[in-house]
Structure 1
Amino acid sequence: MTHTPVNNSPETRMERIRLRLETALAPLECVLEDDSARHRGHAGAASGGGHFNLRIISSQFEGLRLVMRHRLVYDSVHDMMHNEIHALAIVALAPSEV
């Protein structure tokens, strides 16, 4: 049985993150930025995990507190946390807040 390695190139990683967010939250807007270069030398960067900034607008956030919005985001990428994603800065808004 052969094992196919995961391609951890920044573009592919960002595409996977974006796809999971779009599938789980059907966002009206999803702006994902790779901020890893600013964190070179940081312990999380050494493990290969990236630093990302996310601005996401989804109707699923209507009526939810910030902690629940973040939970929905983290739930959609949970298996990528700590290996492909070291840090994720989130701005999660409902359409009525834009």
Structure 2
Amino acid sequence: MIEFKPRAASYLPDGKAVLIPLMAIEPVPRFTTHPKDWHGFDRERLVRLLKGFVAGDSIEPVPLFEMPLFEFAHSPHRYRVLNGLHRFYGSIAAGFSHLPAVI
């Protein structure tokens, strides 16, 4: 991934998706104590995902929750990841600016 340069704002989604700026999504904490094999991640899954980014594979969009206005007013983040933390953090690691999402 060191020499990888994104050619688009996000990875290629495999279905209908909207592009959401990563800065608008609340970072979800990952814990090294979580029962995964590498810093709270499933290393094999993350590497497979990053290889898919490099190859230009179409990958499932991430389901996001749009936070209620009263909660959003107190946070710079408008969305929360429901499922897809590897895709969220992998997108950041790859240098993408947006995440394909389904709201």
**TM bracket (short chain):** under 0.3
Normalising by the residue count of structure 2, what TM-score does the alignment of the two structures yield? 0.23
Normalising by the residue count of structure 1, what TM-score does the alignment of the two structures yield? 0.23
RCO comparison, higher one (Cα < 8 Å, 6+): 2
